[in-house]
Amino acid sequence: MFDGLDALLLARLQFAFTVSFHFIFPAFSIGLASYLAVLEGLWLKTGKSLYLDLFRYWLKIFAVAFAMGVVSGLVMSYQFGTNWSVFSDKAGPVIGPLMAYEVLTAFFLEAGFLGVMLFGMEKVGRRLHFMATLMVAAGTFVSAFWILSVNSWMQTPAGHEMGANGQFLPGPSWLAIIFNPSFPYRLVHTVIAAYLTTALAVGGVGAWHLLRDRTNLHARKMFSMAMWMAALVAPVQIFMGDAHGLNTLEHQPAKVMAMEGHFQSHPDGAPLILFGISDQKAQRMDYALEVPKLSSLILKHSLDAPLKGLDTVPLADQPPVGVVFWAFRVMVAIGFAMLGLGLWSLIGRLRGKLYDWGWLHRAAILMGPSGFVAVIAGWVTTEVGRQPYVIYGLLRTRDAASPLAAPAVGASLLAFVVVYFACFSIGTWYVLRLMSKAPVPHEPGIEHESEGPIRSAGITPAPAHGALGKEDR
């Protein structure tokens, strides 16, 4: 059944599928781990049980999301060898050590303290438990640091030498490899994206419960915290995205040409193409809706600055324009929608209506999953945009795959698709079910759930929320 497809395409599909699925979970757990640390810290500082309730509420969701992140991440660490063995052999000496550092400094830290964070509150005391939470949060960040360094090196390779056997070898300075030109931008942009993604998800859950009961103190607190994040961090993210784009223009100009849909060079100011249908064979954008000179203004900060187009890049070295062009637009549109939501919430806050505006809450629910869409769109932009290379300019994707027959790769792809959809959609459903229940005063801890959430669901009938909340106030 896979005869029509070649092993290379199947291997690429498999990587795209497993890594896209995987990244959803870290995007959530990086932000959520920090949010949990903040909640627990506020609880220790203020002694307000409201924060502990929220901590316990989100901890259950974190546990499920983290488990899915761990198992889908394990798959990634073997994917390099199974489907991309030539790449592994060639790039192993340079990126292997960075990934080893990720295991040593991040994965063990997360995993070692996770057990205490989830189940150890009553065994180790508050302060040690808080330290465990901080360690897990730190681990998620350190993990992002190393793996984004690896990805950035593949995008903007630096600090290496070429070995006689065709291997990439480390040069004299590891710092030049780790802090390669695109890494600082990618790291900041990605970590902020994870925080925003989590904030929007938390805000969506808070808004959902506010729509049911505006007096719910727990829902108010999480909605308010999330909207602060959206209002303050979304502008920062747009600014960082712009900086990252300028960095890409410097090091991977063909990617930016694809993002902009610029098939032609523009010697005196390039237009911003808002929408269009790309025809890569004919090398033109059909039905393009353009704003004159705006692209030059954004990318060069000057209306008449010249910008080169894909006509300067041989067809064999061009990334597929359609995917990159549209994925980029999805990401940017969501980014501005987040900014809009944040501003709307600020207005509501100033007028004292943050918890009363039903349409604001509905919009926040709608935007709840938007961060996940944006991060996937962003990764599609950058990963498809660096094609046809796996190590930019140096190793082509088609030269990096394992010597495997198409049926082997196709069968494993099919297995991953079936298992991932089964396991992770059920897991996502469990997460949504946890989210659909409002947090309550004296939220039960995860360690007391021997019968799962079914039992605890029966304890607190919905009408009691408001009354209990007022007592707490």
Residue of 36, 50, 54, 114 interacting with other proteins (CB under 8 A)? 114
We find the least distance from the C-beta atom of residue 176 to other proteins, in angstroms, to be: 12
* Size of site (CB under 8 A) for other proteins: 84
CB 32 within 8 A of CB 39: no
Rounded least distance, CB 87 to other proteins, Å: 8
Contact region with other proteins (CB under 8 A), list: 38-46, 109-117, 297-305, 347-355: 109-117
Q: Which is nearer to other proteins, 168 or 325 (CB)?
A: 168
Q: Is 359 in the site for other proteins (CB under 8 A)?
A: no
Q: Does 142 bind other proteins (CB under 8 A)?
A: no
Rounded to an integer, what is the distance from CA 101 to the centroid of its chain?
A: 21
DSSP-assigned letters across all residues of 258-318: HHHT--S-BTT-PPEEEEEEEETTTTEEEEEEEETTHHHHHHHSSTT--B--GGGS-GGGP
Nearer CB in complex with other proteins: 125/292: 125
238 within 8 A of 335, measured Cβ to Cβ: yes
User: Which window, 60-68, 260-268, 318-326, 357-365, contacts other proteins (CB under 8 A)?
Assistant: 60-68
Instruction: Kindly tell me which residue out of 2, 19, 44, 167 binds other proteins, with binding defined by CB under 8 A.
Output: 167
Binding to other proteins (CB under 8 A) within 247-306 occurs at none
Q: Whose Cβ is closer to other proteins: residue 315's or residue 454's?
A: 454
Helix (H, G, I), strand (E, B) or coil at 230: helix
Site string for other proteins, 419-458 (x = CB under 8 A): xx--x--xx--x--xx-----------xxxxxxxxx----
Query: For residue 401, which of 159, 83, 183, 51 has the smallest C-alpha distance?
Result: 83
3-class state of residue 390 by DSSP? strand
Is position 158 an interface residue for other proteins (rule: CB under 8 A)?
no
Could you give the angle at the alpha carbon of 365 between the alpha carbons of 359 and 371, nearest 5°? 130
Beta carbon nearer to other proteins, 315 or 450: 450
Contact yes or no for 76/379 (Cβ under 8 A):
no
Stretch that binds other proteins, among 226-234, 298-306, 372-380, 396-404 (CB under 8 A): 396-404
CB nearer other proteins, residue 34 or residue 412:
412
Residue identified by tokens 């900086």 is: 243
Strands 272-279 and 389-391: unpaired
Q: Write down the least CB distance from residue 193 to other proteins, Å.
A: 24
**Nearest-approach distance from CB 61 to other proteins, in angstroms:** 10
Smallest gap from residue 97 Cβ to other proteins (A) = 5
Query: What is the rounded distance in angstroms from the CA atom of residue 191 to the CA atom of residue 187?
Result: 6
Does residue 165 interact with other proteins by CB under 8 A? Answer: yes
166-175 burial, b at 16+ Cβ within 10 Å, e below that, comes to eebebeeeee
Rounded to a whole number of angstroms, the minimum distance from the CB of residue 142 to other proteins is 11
CB of 83 to other proteins, least distance (A): 8
- Cβ 18 vs Cβ 416: under 8 Å: yes
**Out of 27, 50, 52, 99, which residue is the one contacting other proteins (CB under 8 A)?**
99
Q: Is 198 exposed, middle or buried (0-12, 13-18, 19+ CB in 10 A)?
A: buried
Out of 9, 13, 44, 70, which residue is the one contacting other proteins (CB under 8 A)? 70
What whole-number distance in Å separates Cα of residue 233 and Cα of residue 237? 6
**Does 85 contact other proteins by CB under 8 A?**
yes
C-beta closer to other proteins: residue 66 or 263: 66
Q: What are phi and psi of 301, to 5 degrees?
A: 55, 35
Among 104, 232, 289, 459, binds other proteins (CB under 8 A): 104
Our CB check for other proteins shows the closer of 60 and 262 to be: 60
Is residue 88 close enough to count as binding other proteins by CB under 8 A? Answer: yes
Which segments of 164-216 does DSSP mark as H helices, in order?
A: 174-178, 183-212
Instruction: Give the Cα separation of 49 and 44 in Å (integer).
Output: 9
**Comparison of 116 and 377: residue with beta carbon closer to other proteins:** 116
Q: Min. distance of Cβ 362 from other proteins in angstroms? A: 28
For the segment 116-135, give every residue that binds other proteins (CB under 8 A): 116, 118-120, 122-124, 135
CB 177 within 8 A of CB 207: no
Q: Which of 27, 30, 42, 68 binds other proteins (CB under 8 A)?
A: 68
The answer to whether residue 394 forms part of the interface with other proteins (CB under 8 A) is no
**Backbone phi, then psi, for 442, in 5-degree steps?**
60, 40
Q: Which window, 110-118, 282-290, 302-310, 464-472, contacts other proteins (CB under 8 A)?
A: 110-118
Angle at 81 between CA 77 and CA 84, to 5 degrees: 110
Rounded Cα distance between 439 and 217, Å, is 9
Based on the shown chain and the rule CB under 8 A, indicate whether residue 17 belongs to the binding site for other proteins. no
Q: Toward other proteins, which CB reaches closer, 72 or 198?
A: 72
